Every structure is written in structure tokens, then in C-alpha cells.
Amino acid sequence: MRLNLGGGEIVAFYLYLSKFFNPVQAIADQINQIQKANSSSERLFNLLDVPPEVLDKPNPIIMDHFEGRIEFKNVWFAYENDDWILKDVSFTIEPRQTVAFVGATGAGKTTILSLIVRNFQIQKGQILIDGVDINDIEIHSLRKAVGQMLQDVFLFTGTIKSNITLHDEEFSDEEINQVCEYVNADKFINKLDKGLDTEVLEKGENFSQGQRQLLSFARTVLHKPQILILDEATANIDTETEKLIQDSLEKIKNIGTMLVVAHRLSTIQNADQIIVLNKGEVIEKGTHQSLLRQKGYYHKLYLLQFSND
């Protein structure tokens, strides 16, 4: 049987066919997305189900405030077996001192900072804060008192304001503006059309490295930590922004005890104490000038950087 179809009938047939298959295609696409989400969520929940290696003791000490005295007593630490990263490390940091850790890559500088906030458990020795063993302190109260400013700053999707306050509604706009001015972050925020309400993309990709660092400083200062940790916070930034950050560092020294890791020796010359590490051991301690007079390992590092500059 032969059908004689006109042009309009053919177009109508094609449109009806599309309307039939489009929902089927949409369902197939959604099933594909659900399968992807299932596999991603499975990996996520597997990660969340991993028990933490460092746990609180029964009835830990809850510290409401820290003076900031930090003491390492004969600390030994290894990530695996007996491959020691730190070997019999001992030093004392007094409250509100600025102390810098210097040494080659792999000397153990960042490891020391991680141990202070109990990211890992030491094998030998003792770490004390205000005379209390950190193993006896509740982890939440310990980490709440420590502000960390790292080289790789992570910003969340949202606004500048939400990234500084971390969605804590207790902070007023006036407090946020004061903190931004204090750390020189206002220099670029005020140039933005929406100011603190400017949108932030995932990981802060719409801001430069230096701008992300200044926002990290503002976030840290706003939450008033008693101990500050700066791990290569001035790396990979331009000269102009570095000057702003250096000015911010001078201001936040008064907030609490500050621990600094920096490869640029020019950024730590005014530190109260410089601790020089080599292959997991403390080999020199002192001020910038006293270490230069010793003409030891620090003196060699300084001359090497000076000649390169």
C-alpha cells in the first residue's frame, strides 16, 4: 500500500518523532549522570569512612585560651617505619615570639608545623603548649586557637565576605572592613564593583595568588588565633603584593606567637629566633645577625641567596 504524503504531513511526522525521542534521550542522560554521581559519592563516602589516625584521649583538656609558649622535647617523627623526618628535635618558643624555620627542602620545617596542630602523632619525645602535652589537649580546641596561612590558599565558591567569615554570622561588616584594612586586603577589594560581595569562583581562580594570600590573612586575623602558622605564605607573588604582605606580617606579629617557614631569608630577618634545620636535625639557633656571625649553614644560605639576587 502506497501512501501519498504531503510536505506538511512529513514535517508533522518528523516533529512528532522528535517529541517522542527527546524525553527518552533526556532520561538516558539523567541515568548517565546518576551513575557518575553514584561512583563519585562512593569514593567520597569511602574517604569519609576512613577513621582518623589521631584521636582525643578520654576526657581531654579543653583549652579556652593559649599564651602561646611552645616546646619541643627530644621529638622524633617518621611518616613510615624508621625513616626519621625529625631526629631528636628540641627548642622553645616563648609567647608572642616570631620564630622562623629555615633549611633545605625535606629538612622537616613543614612537618614541625603539622605536628603542632596534631595532624600526625610523634613516635618519641614530647610537644608542649603552655606546659601542657598536646596529646592531652582536645584537638578541636587546639586547632581552633591556631590560624594557618599556607602557600596554597583555598577559597570556596561564594563571596569575598563568606570566604573571610567562613559563614559565621557573628561578624559585622564593620569588623570585616577593619580586618581587611589591617592586612591591606582593602587595597584591591575597594577597586571591585561589588566589594565584599564580589563572587569567588572555586579555589579563587578569579583572583591572583597575592590577592588570595591577603584574603587568607584577613580570614585568619578575623578569627583571632593565639598561634599563627605561615608556611611559605610569601612565595610565588609579585613584588608589589609582597610589600603589602610584609606590611601585614609586621602588624599581625602582635596578635600571638608566630611560626614562619620561608625560603626567602629577606622575609625573616626580623624574627626573634631563627631555627635552622638540616636532614631533620636542629643545627643552629639564633637571631639573623648572630647566625651570620657564626658563619655556619645559615650564613652559607644567606650568601647563596644574596649572590642569586
Query: Are 239 and 128 contained in the same domain?
Result: yes
b or e along 94-117 (b: 16 or more beta carbons within 10 Å of the residue's beta carbon)? eebbbbbbbbeeebbbbbbbebbb
In the predicted model, is pLDDT for residue 301 greater than 70? yes
Mean pLDDT of 292-305: 89
Of 133, 109, 93, the closest CA to residue 230 belongs to 109
Query: Are 166 and 205 contained in the same domain?
Result: yes
pLDDT attached to residue 277: 94
Task: Tell me how crowded residue 272 is: count the other CB atoms within 10 A of its CB.
Answer: 15
* β pairing state of 281-286 and 273-278: antiparallel
Domain annotation covers residue 1: no
Mean pLDDT of 45-67: 89
Q: Which three cell numbers stand for residue 287?
A: 637571631
Sign of CA dihedral 45, 47, 53, 55: negative
Q: What is the CATH number of the domain that holds 137?
A: 3.40.50.300
Pairwise CA distance, residues 216 & 221, whole Å: 9
pLDDT attached to residue 141: 92
Q: Which three cell numbers stand for residue 180?
A: 581587611
Higher local confidence (pLDDT), 31 or 4 = 31
Higher local confidence (pLDDT), 245 or 93 = 93
Q: How confident is the model at residue 29 (pLDDT cuts 50, 70, 90)?
A: confident
Mean pLDDT of 276-298: 93
Query: Are 127 and 235 contained in the same domain?
Result: yes
How many independent structural domains does the chain possess? Answer: 2
Question: Mean pLDDT of all residues in the chain?
Answer: 86
Domain annotation covers residue 26: yes
Query: Are 23 and 158 contained in the same domain?
Result: no
In the predicted model, is pLDDT for residue 69 greater than 90? yes
Q: Count of residues for the chain?
A: 309
Domain annotation covers residue 12: yes
Query: Are 168 and 211 contained in the same domain?
Result: yes
Query: Are 161 and 247 contained in the same domain?
Result: yes
Domain annotation covers residue 284: yes
User: How does pLDDT run across 119-166, given as a tens digit for each residue?
Assistant: 999 999 999 999 999 999 999 999 999 988 887 788 889 999 999 999
Of 167, 144, 153, 154, the closest CA to residue 225 belongs to 144
Residue 179 backbone zone (phi > 0: left; psi -120 to 50: alpha; other: beta): alpha
Mean pLDDT of 194-222: 88
Query: Are 237 and 142 contained in the same domain?
Result: yes
Pairwise CA distance, residues 140 & 213, whole Å: 24
Mean pLDDT of 206-234: 85
Q: What Å distances lie between residue 225 and 17, 119, 166, CA to CA?
A: 65, 18, 15
Alpha carbons within 13 angstroms on the beta-carbon side of residue 203 total: 3
pLDDT attached to residue 307: 64
200: helix, coil or strand? strand
Domain annotation covers residue 59: no
Query: Are 184 and 218 contained in the same domain?
Result: yes
Domain annotation covers residue 62: no
pLDDT attached to residue 205: 87
Query: Are 80 and 15 contained in the same domain?
Result: no
Alpha carbons within 13 angstroms on the beta-carbon side of residue 79 total: 9
In the predicted model, is pLDDT for residue 77 greater than 80? yes
Higher local confidence (pLDDT), 233 or 247 = 247
Q: Residue 27: which domain range?
A: 8-50
Query: Are 13 and 122 contained in the same domain?
Result: no
Query: Are 131 and 41 contained in the same domain?
Result: no
Domain annotation covers residue 101: yes
The answer to whether 90 touches 282, Cβ cutoff 8 Å, is yes
In the predicted model, is pLDDT for residue 73 greater than 60? yes
Domain annotation covers residue 3: no
pLDDT attached to residue 8: 75
Query: Are 119 and 231 contained in the same domain?
Result: yes
Task: Tell me how crowded residue 67 is: count the other CB atoms within 10 A of its CB.
Answer: 15
